[in-house]
Each structure stands twice: as C-alpha cells, then as structure tokens.
Structure 1
C-alpha cells in the first residue's frame, strides 16, 4: 500500500519576484521574448525540482502563466475576444499581454477576483458563434520537461464548467450553456493530446462546485464528464475553498477516477467522503493549507488521516487544499524575520516538504520522520504558549465597545447637506483613489531609508518633496478633492501593519495579485493595537499646501484582515474588530488635525464573502460592523469615503448601503458601467464615484470615452450624487500617462457639468 502525494499548483513569480522583473523589462522594451522565456524556464524548472526533491508522486504542470491561468485556459481553447483582431490559433506573447493590459485600439479584458481570494483573473469573453481552436503545445512541452527531470507529470487545467460559469457574454444575448457541446469537444481534444503523450492523470479544477449552483448547471456535470470519460485519461476532479459534501452522491456517480477535496478549509467533510467514496475512485485530501502561512501540525494531521488510510489504502492521496499560488515561495530568504515567529511559518516550498513528511509517515510510520515531527511539535508548542500573542489591554478595550460607537449621529440625507456647505464642491466633483505614481526615485528612497543609508529627517524631507509634487500636479489639473499621493507607503496594507502591534513582516513574502503585480501580505500573529498616529503628519502637511480639501487615506479593517496572513487561533471577527478600533483611532486623529474628507478603503469586503450564501449574513454583520466602528466616530461635516474594486456588488448592495459611507468609489470602467446598474436599481442612497478609466492598463482613454461613461452613469444615478475618479490608485502608472488620463477625466467632468446645467436650465424654462 502506497499513499500518493501532490500539490494543486505552485507560485509562479519566483522566490524573489524574478518573473515580475522580467515581465516589466519586456514591457518596457528593455529585453526580448527569449530573455523572458529563459526566466520562465528557470522558475518552472525550480518549481518542478522542489516537488521531485520532496518525493511527491505527481509533479504539477500547467500551473505556470506569464499573466493569468484563466487567460492561459482561454489561449489553450482559442477563446480570444474578436475585437482584438488576433488569429486565435496563433497568439504571440506580445498579443497575450495586449489581451491582459489593453493596447491603443482596445481596452484590456475584464478582470475580477478569483472566488474569495485576492488573486485577479481575466474574464473570458464569449461570442455565440465562437469556434474553439485547441492549442496545447506549451503544456505538452512542460510535460516533456518534467519527465526529463525524472518526475511524473500531472497537467492541471481549469474545468469546462468553471470556465464557462466565470466567462461573460459580450455584445450578444444567449445562454452560455448553449456553447457547452462545442466546449466539451474542445476539452476532449485537450485530453486526447494528453493521452497521446501517455499522461496518466489530469487534474481538472472545478471550484464552482463550492458555490450555490443552479440545478441545470449541476446537471451539466453529468453530460460533460460522461463525454470526457470516453477519451481514456484518468481525471482528478478538483474542488477547493469550501465543503462540497452536499454533492457527494452526484460526484460519486461521475465517471472520473478521483476527487480532490479541501480538507484544510472544510475538514468537516473528510469523514463523509471517506465513508461514501466508491471503490473505483481515489480521494485526494488537501490537508495542507494553501491559503495561509502557518506551519502545519504534522503529528495532528497524520493522526487525522489514519482513519482515511485504514479505509482507502492506496486510494488515498495527500495534497494541498488548493494551489499554493496564494502563498509566498520560500522562507529561504527570510534571514531577518523574527526567529521565534519564523519557526511558526511555512511558505510554499516548506508546505511541499510538509506533504512529503506526512505522506512518508503514513506510508512508513512516524519513526521514519522522527526528527521532522519533533521539530513540528516544538513549533506548535512554542506558538501556543508564547506570551507575545495576546494582550489583556486590547481584549478589555474590545469588550467595552458599544453599539452606539458603530453609528453616525445624523442620517446621510441630513449630514450630506452640511458636508456640501462645508466643502463647497461643484457638480461631478473630481478626485483620485489615493496613490500617485511610485517612481523609481521613490522606491529607491524608501529602500535606502530601510537600509539605514538615509536618516529619518532627511527621508521625511525628501518624501515631502514628492508629496508637494503630487499636490502641485493635482492643482494644475484642477482636481477638486486632492490626495497626498502616498509616496511614503510601500503597500496599502503593509504600511499600516508596520505601525500596529500584533503584526510581523517578511522580506520576500510576495504573492501574485495579477500579472506582474505582487503584494507582500503582513502576518497577523497577535492582538492588534495602534500605539501612535500613522498618517496624520503627512496628511496635515499635504493639506497645508492647498486650499482644496485633502483626503486622509486609510485602509479599512476588512481589507487589512483579508490582505494579511491572519492568525488562525481565534475567530476572524475578533481580529477584524481589533483592527477597526485601530483605524477608528486614526480617523479621529485626522479629524482633530483638520482633515474633513477621510477615505477608508475596503476593496476586499466582497472578497471576504463566504462562497455559500447560507454563511453570508454572519460574515456581513461583523464586516459591516467593523467598518462602521472604524468610521462612525466623526462629526457630520466630516465626509467618509470608501473604495471597492474589481468585484460584483449587486448581491450585497443592502450591506454596502449599511456601511453608511458618504461616498463610495467603485471600479466600473472595464465593465463599461454595467456594475453601476445594480446601484441604480437598488436606489443606493449615498454618493457614488464610478471609475471612468482603467488604471491597470497603460492605455489613456479619450475625453469622449470618459464622457460617454459618465453619461451612462447619469442614466442610473442622479448627477447630483456622482463623483468622477479613476477606478483605482495610480501607484503602478507613470507620470506622463497619469497626467494625460487625469486631464481627460477633469475635462469630461467639466463637460458633464455644463451639459447637466444646460438641461436643468431648459427644464426650468419649460
């Protein structure tokens, strides 16, 4: 009896973000395709070798992407938006990036969050007459490369029903399921290519099984997998992120040879699957958490799997709960990390080793890994008993929070009049989301300060020069509500975490968010407290440079929670409320300093929503309460903004309204203002700033294009409640395109002011 082992995917950015730098060099024209391909080959080879060295039974291929795995699947299927005019059967790497980032002629493909993660995928665009054109050359090449290293390759692809569910129809109206027969044939062709390459197992990811699917979509699984079974490849049907035990009977009847379940996020489902698994299937249990960075309790997990081993024998596989894409690559480069806390952590490379240790113990007995288990046990004991984790002061303060602390004194309809009188803003007021270009000079300045090469006062003065530049640029552009540009901030979560107790920071704990964009989530290991103001000095300085309103810029408690690696020894709700109190203190200090427009960004609110609707109410109650706790302690004349991006909001609009922010800014440019319709249908009561251009693309839209979007916005939201802004922060953009885009944005706002005033005058005359 031999229990098998594998992972669902590995990070593709490289341990020190090699892919990011190679991509950006290529986009700048500083390197060619060959150089980019060489970097990719090196990363993939190292990833495969890591799995081979850990003695995993199967080595995963197909998890690498130059930009996004959903885009990879679209390329494999030849599902390319016609509007680009590309030959779907032969897409160059440069054209791939045009799809992802847009070009002079076409905006980029729409982008949104991958389920409840902070990873963004590119949404496939479907046409009724699409002809799928399969191309698997890239993944076949990787299969050959793994075999040359001595590994057993297991290709991974996104399943047909997940692909179809997440895709969107553009410019037509038809039922997506009408495409299923031709899509299924395309997938059959992919499997035939794997079969011809003598691939034994294929991992087909169908994470939509974790959602509340309509019955006809569930029924489609029977048809699709019945047809794919005729090819003859062994299929591991992969689910993750949720408990899918409600579908046991249906999945067990599917003609697939294996099923993967998430045993880290939903351990309650393991027993049911072990008890009901048919004798002709394998069960892969994702026992190692692919979404967090805490070291596994190997002894406990081995004990947990013993009953599954007894029941299933060699039909048991051990793996990660999901792809390790959501974790940093390796602890190898974390030499400066607090050694006590470092010993509590495991990144992707260490998680692969943990799988190897657990599998070896199950196959050979605990005696075969005595040393490894002793180290694991010691780390668990140290973390449980550390005095650094809890604070009586923080816990007592949280216990004293009252309901009144989460409620603005005056309803929005009354306080907005006071704010309008105080701020004296025009119709269609213009602003930006917060950050301005993080130039090479700024990044080098921050790095030099971090290395101790620049003293604190010198650093402050030089940062103030960049703040002054940002303010001057906005004044020249005639923007109405300004921001200080965030030159001093490395990341919207990390910056604040560095000023809070209970956080620790890595040097290379990077995780891909989209394309070359990587984030370095801080680690919440203990109770949270804000010992001193974090943003007051820079914001007050920026306000001193202008007579226009200056926004205070903060990250909200739910985004701080979602975009950190969060402690798993207490409910997330408690950590969120601790964060809310810290942000509340900062809001009140900003107000005391004379800042009367304060933005508390919550782009991750929708991302944190549980995948099952049955669990929404509980999450939304404490998430909204946390935001209100952070924002409600201000005067009526202080205007609270919030920002959300790249999410579907329509199903939680009552909860967004319950946040009671005076102004919400949202991403709508890539969806051509379609996301805004739900706010209109719902009759959202407060002010809204729909993004009028996509900051993730270097493309600068015209004044007419932005005016068109604002006209569409006026069809669903009264002009008196509309703000004008980009769809997100400008950190990743250059100054030249930023000036051009913001100039067009301001011009569009002024055109709309004249148009609406003319219409109002005409109505008055009638």
Structure 2
C-alpha cells in the first residue's frame, strides 16, 4: 500500500511562475532566466512532495501555460502559421497560447476552453490534413532527468491519446487519420523514458468519464490495442478523474496495463464498479482525497470505503490533480477553530499519508483529531434564510410579461440603434487601481480619498466611452478585486483566503472564496458606484452583477449541504441587489453567469436531473421580480455552449453575450438551429490575447454574425471583460470595435435615411 498524487500546483507557493513569466513577456528577464526559475520551482515542489512521504511523485505536470498545449507541441501538432514564425521555440509556444502580433507576423491564439468541469482552461489543439504527428520536443524527458539528477524518482505524466484526440479540433480531417502516427509517437516516448530509467508512465484520460459509446469507444480500444503492443518495459497507469468510467470499465481493467486511476469523489459509480471485480494483477490508484475542494477529508468515511474494495494492490491518491486547490493553509491567517477545517494542496499530502498509516493499522493522533473535528456541526443555520427558501413558489421563478413583449417595451424606452455596442463590464486594473485599493484595505488612506480616486477613474472612462461612441456604458468595476470575491465580501456566510490562488489559465490565477455558512445579503453591494456612474451621463449605464451559479461554481462550496440549496441562498441575495439597482434607476442590469456550463455533469444523461433543473431556476429567481422595462443581460465565457442552447434560452434573460472569438463563432450555427429568441452579443474579438484586432478584422467578424443571426437581435461587444488587459490595447481594440459597428450600421441603413 502506497500513496500518490496526480499533479501539483504549478504557479508556486507565492505565484513565482506567474511573476517570472510575465517579466519575460515584458522583456525584463531572458529566456534562460525564465527557464532557471522554472527549474528551481519544479525542484522545490518535488522535494516538498517527497519530504511529505508521498511515494508516487509526478513529473511533466508542470507547464508554462497548459499541459494540453505542451502535449500538442511535443507531438508537432502546431498550426503552419505559428510554425512558420521566425521565433524561438519558447516564443512560438507563447504565440500559440497568447497570439502574436509583431515584426514576424500576426497570428491568433489557439481556441481556449474549460477543462472538463473546472475553472481551469486548456488550449485546443488544431489538426489539419497537413498535420504530421511525430515526437519533436523534449520537455517530458528533460523534466524527468531533472528530478532524477536530484535523486527523485518520478512518474512522467502526459495527456493520453484518447483525451488528446477528443479535445482537439479537426479541419478537413478526422481523428482516425492520426491513430497510427500518434501511437508511434507515444511508443517512442515510452522507449526514451524507459532508457532514461523511468519505471512508470501516467497517461491522463479524463475523457473516459464522459459518455464513451459507439465510435468513441471503438477509438479508445483501437488506440490502446495498438499502443500497448510496445511498452518498452514501462508500467502504464491510465489515470481518470472528474467522474466514473462506467462505459469502459470492463475495457479498461482488461487492458495490458499495470495501473488504473479512478475518482472516488466525483465518480458516483466508481465504488460499485470496483466492487464488481478488479484484477489481482493490477494496481488501483484510488482517488479518495478530494483534489477540487479545500475541506478536510473525513478519515473514518474514507477508510470505511477503502476497506470495502476487493483490491490486492492499492495506492491511495487524490481524486484529480492538486492544481485545482491553493498551495498551503500555512500562509493563511484564519482563526485556529476555522483553519483546522481546511486542507490545501500541501495539507492533502499529509492526509494521504495519514490514511495510509491508519489503513495499515496505526492509530495515529491525526486520526483522533479528525474524528473530533467531524463530531460536531461546523456552523449553525440562519433561520431567516431557510424561512425565505421555504416560502418560494413556482411563481417565484417566473418573470412576466413574456420575452417578446418585454423586448418591445425596452426598445421603445431605450431607443438604441441597430447593432448596439457595449463592453462586458470591467476595464483594465492598472497598478494605480490595485495599489489604491490595497491602501484602502490596509487603512492607509481614508474612505473619502478612496472614493475620490474611484470616482475620478469612473468619470474618465465614462468620458472615453462617450467619445468613441459606445451605446451602453459600464462603470469599469475599479472598486472590485474579483467578480466573485467582491460579492462574497459583502455577503454573510463567506470566508476569504489571503494566498489561496488557483490557476485559471496561463499565468492567470483566481482566489476562490470559501462558502462557510448560510449566505445572505444585509446591505446593497453595487448600488453606490452604479448610480454614481449613471448620474455622470445621459447614456445608459449597465449595473454589473455576478450570477448565483457562477458565484457558487467559482467558490469552494460547502460539502454539508447540497449545491442546489447553496445556490438558491445566493440567488435570493443577488435578487435583493437587482431590485435595489432597479429602484435606484438602473435600467440595464447584467447578471454574469460565466460559469454556468462549467459544472454541467460530464455525462449528458445527467445534465438536467443533476444540474440544469436547479441551476436555470436559480438564475430566473434572481430577475423574476423586475419590471418589464428593466433589461436583463447575462454573459458566459470560454465554455462549449452549443449543446445547451435550450437551457440558456430558458434563463429568460433579455440579452446574452457569449465568448465566441476563440471558438470561431461556432455557437452561431447552434443559435440558428435552435431558433434562439434572446438578443445576443457573440464576442467579436479575443480579450485574452494582447493583439489588437483591426477594424477590418472586426468588420469581417460582424458580417459572419449577421449571416446567421437577425440584425435586430445582435449586440456588438468583446468576448469578455477587459480587466486583465493594458490600457492602450483595451482602448484601441474597443475603439476599433465601435468603428466597425458604425460602418456596418451605415451599410444596413436603408437608402434615403
């Protein structure tokens, strides 16, 4: 019996990788200095995991941006336009991730999508008829060698071939076209690692927890039937996570592999599958420590589960990579009675070894402390919150009048032009903004000084929006640190870490708040600055809110009540804010549900029964009581929406904006197919890339939109907020957007008008 982890946080205890990488992008350090910083960080993490007593230590789980992108570049799956750039390999890699605009060319970044049901994003590999899959990189070998040179034996990790093909996009070709070459490339990797001294390789195959039937199941079997004919003496671990493998369990356990990694946390059927039979000659890597949440493991329950499994060879593991939780609780200042309930990545290493010791019969003091921790309720319920939920009826979730009637009322009242322009909400968070907010938080400046600073910023950006001719303005959200944390700070029931950063994409980290108890709102949150902004202009200013599903999904949720109940609590709190904004004269209110798709069950058969049947009503509850003349917007970003269009329409918002630029506007076909009724704003350019789109480029994109969506229903906007962009690039891009919209508006204007 041993212990293992699937992966470890990459950014570092203090986000060292983020700061080093961004210095490189700003040309403040060299490529060699960046690579050295990465080597230092990897060594620190391997040594930490080894010192904690973990037996199975992964390598190649590190990345400068994304491991799916790493796998694609390792195997020569690179678009010709990027491959042709006269840049170093490192800069071509970053061009794939961020786009490139400079002396050597102009290329867009690869599409970016959510990684299964998490807030992490991966870069989507692009296959074309000319793609030649072959081993061209050395990263996986270099990092294994680094660890070996330090005296640490690791298990190299790589995205498995089935997941790689399943997550990729194919242009004028099919996944089956690449099976032979892909298998040969993986076998070459096996051989080189074996020659270096590796004994195991981990193939990450989370795609197996989705629906894997028909041709998908055949593709999986074909890949592995061919791949495993030449293992070069390596032991192979096929690692899954985020669910159970009910469709391919029998196929999986009968493969000629040595290890199977299964998720016992999110895999509802995993325990039953294993109890139905598990081969004596294989090792089960049992994912029993939750890699996606920060609560302490309940040792007694976990040990009871493990003891029911008919397994001779057992490795106690995390349910997924620890990439999805913060680095360590040690850097937090929670009171001791609170702190004892949390386990971040470093603490989860200790949980694994505690479970190992207790399963071996050692009655540790840690086990006794864990029993005491779970012996008493953690929080007391809020009676007012529960009473309010108890009095909800079906009418509480339904807005009147119907959408079409509301649209006529709003158009008559607002008198917006064809193709109205707006932004998603946030403007660049400059150093001055961040510094001033930090000074106020530390009581280094007064409330009056802080308010003056924020007010002047809002007025400056409102004037700029008016000058370039935007139709619906935003106040810029300069007072907000994060779209979820800001709201949580103003709600009962939330706790906040100081250093609880989790990677979202590339160097971008988020600091999810923790839902500690029942959620309620006791005073207005956004009314002050929204109404201030509206008083400065005759144009409409959107009130900006975060929706209840996103607040839940981008928080660390409670485990003592259902996610449905927790979301309804948040929805009622945000409803109070919506009604206060309306009462104070805000006519357009955007309620962002950026993460609606994120927690959708990975199996389609579970979508409605386990999620959408409460997530959609929760959003409707937020806006069900507003007046017909109040226009409700929502926004969704970086997910695949084409398969849930009916559910999105059922949100009953008036206008919805989508991320669309990095997904090649593919959502437009689904909107057309489903006869989508809401007004829509498909993002016309990618804000996650520093490149500035030209007027001509945006004009072309708008024409593509109008070819599939009626012009009366189209809004023109970027694909997400501008918080992470620089001032110069943000202003130039939005100005080009506005110019493009005006040009097309003139084209559409009837002659003689």
The TM-score bracket by the shorter chain reads over 0.9
Counterpart in 1 of 2:347? 350
Q: In the TM superposition, what is the alpha-carbon distance from 1:621 to its structure 2 partner?
A: 1.4
SS of corresponding position for 1:7: coil
Q: How does 1:279-678 map to 2 (within 5 A)?
A: 279-308=280-309, 311-313=310-312, 315-334=313-332, 336-363=333-360, 365-367=361-363, 370-381=364-375, 384-386=376-378, 388-618=379-609, 619-678=611-670
Which deviations, in whole Å up to 9, do the C-alpha atoms of 1:318-364 show, x marking residues without a partner? Answer: 10001111100111210x2243221100000000111111112223x
SS of corresponding position for 1:726: coil
The whole-number CA distance in structure 1 between the counterparts of 2:191 and 2:60 is: 16
Counterpart in 2 of 1:195? 194
The whole-number CA distance in structure 2 between the counterparts of 1:686 and 1:178 is: 40
SS of corresponding position for 1:642: strand
SS of corresponding position for 1:670: helix
Distance change (3 Å), C-alpha of 1:87 and 1:101:
closer
Q: Which moved more, 1:133-142 or 1:473-482?
A: 133-142
Tell whether the 8 Å contact from 2:211 to 2:247 is kept in structure 1 after alignment: no
Match of 1:68 among 66, 72, 80: 66
Counterpart in 2 of 1:732? 724
Given the alignment of the two structures, is residue 163 of structure 1 paired with residue 160 of structure 2, yes or no?
no
Tell whether the 8 Å contact from 2:283 to 2:314 is kept in structure 1 after alignment: yes
Match of 1:744 among 736, 741, 749: 736
Q: Which moved more, 1:284-293 or 1:451-460?
A: 451-460
Tell whether the 8 Å contact from 2:134 to 2:181 is kept in structure 1 after alignment: no
The whole-number CA distance in structure 2 between the counterparts of 1:328 and 1:56 is: 18
SS of corresponding position for 2:316: strand
The whole-number CA distance in structure 2 between the counterparts of 1:184 and 1:139 is: 17
Q: In the TM superposition, what is the alpha-carbon distance from 1:672 to its structure 2 partner?
A: 2.6
Which deviations, in whole Å up to 9, do the C-alpha atoms of 1:101-144 show, x marking residues without a partner? Answer: 00110110100000111100000000123112314522222222
SS of corresponding position for 1:50: helix
Tell whether the 8 Å contact from 1:331 to 1:346 is kept in structure 2 after alignment: yes
Structure 1 stretches lacking a partner, 5+ long: none
Counterpart in 1 of 2:251? 250
Which deviations, in whole Å up to 9, do the C-alpha atoms of 1:19-55 show, x marking residues without a partner? Answer: 1111111111111112222221222112111210122
Counterpart in 2 of 1:53? 51
Counterpart in 2 of 1:238? 239
Q: In the TM superposition, what is the alpha-carbon distance from 1:275 to its structure 2 partner?
A: 4.2
Counterpart in 2 of 1:77? 75
Calculate the aligned-residue CA RMSD, in Å.
1.6
The whole-number CA distance in structure 2 between the counterparts of 1:260 and 1:751 is: 56
SS of corresponding position for 1:679: helix
Distance change (3 Å), C-alpha of 1:214 and 1:248:
closer
Q: In the TM superposition, what is the alpha-carbon distance from 1:456 to its structure 2 partner?
A: 2.2
Structure 2 stretches lacking a partner, 5+ long: none
Match of 2:746 among 743, 754, 757: 754
The whole-number CA distance in structure 2 between the counterparts of 1:71 and 1:530 is: 42
Counterpart in 2 of 1:712? 704
More helix by share: 1
Normalised TM-score (structure 1): 0.95
The whole-number CA distance in structure 2 between the counterparts of 1:218 and 1:255 is: 17
Q: How does 1:208-223 map to 2 (within 5 A)?
A: 208-223=207-222
Counterpart in 1 of 2:141? 140
Q: In the TM superposition, what is the alpha-carbon distance from 1:213 to its structure 2 partner?
A: 2.4
The whole-number CA distance in structure 1 between the counterparts of 2:85 and 2:63 is: 20
Tell whether the 8 Å contact from 1:482 to 1:550 is kept in structure 2 after alignment: yes
The whole-number CA distance in structure 1 between the counterparts of 2:564 and 2:335 is: 26
Which deviations, in whole Å up to 9, do the C-alpha atoms of 1:269-295 show, x marking residues without a partner? Answer: 224314411122111100100110001
The whole-number CA distance in structure 1 between the counterparts of 2:281 and 2:354 is: 27
The whole-number CA distance in structure 2 between the counterparts of 1:212 and 1:427 is: 42
Which deviations, in whole Å up to 9, do the C-alpha atoms of 1:599-621 show, x marking residues without a partner? Answer: 00001111111011121112111
Q: List structure 1 segments (4+ residues) > 4 angstroms apart after TM superposition.
A: none
Tell whether the 8 Å contact from 1:337 to 1:507 is kept in structure 2 after alignment: no
Given the alignment of the two structures, is residue 182 of structure 1 paired with residue 181 of structure 2, yes or no?
yes
Q: In the TM superposition, what is the alpha-carbon distance from 1:497 to its structure 2 partner?
A: 0.3
SS of corresponding position for 2:589: strand
* Equivalenced residues, count: 746
SS of corresponding position for 2:248: helix
Counterpart in 2 of 1:102? 99
Normalised TM-score (structure 2): 0.97
The whole-number CA distance in structure 2 between the counterparts of 1:513 and 1:371 is: 36
Tell whether the 8 Å contact from 1:59 to 1:146 is kept in structure 2 after alignment: no
Distance change (3 Å), C-alpha of 1:91 and 1:239:
farther
Counterpart in 2 of 1:123? 124
The whole-number CA distance in structure 1 between the counterparts of 2:735 and 2:422 is: 12
Which deviations, in whole Å up to 9, do the C-alpha atoms of 1:433-469 show, x marking residues without a partner? Answer: 0000000000001111111212222212211111112
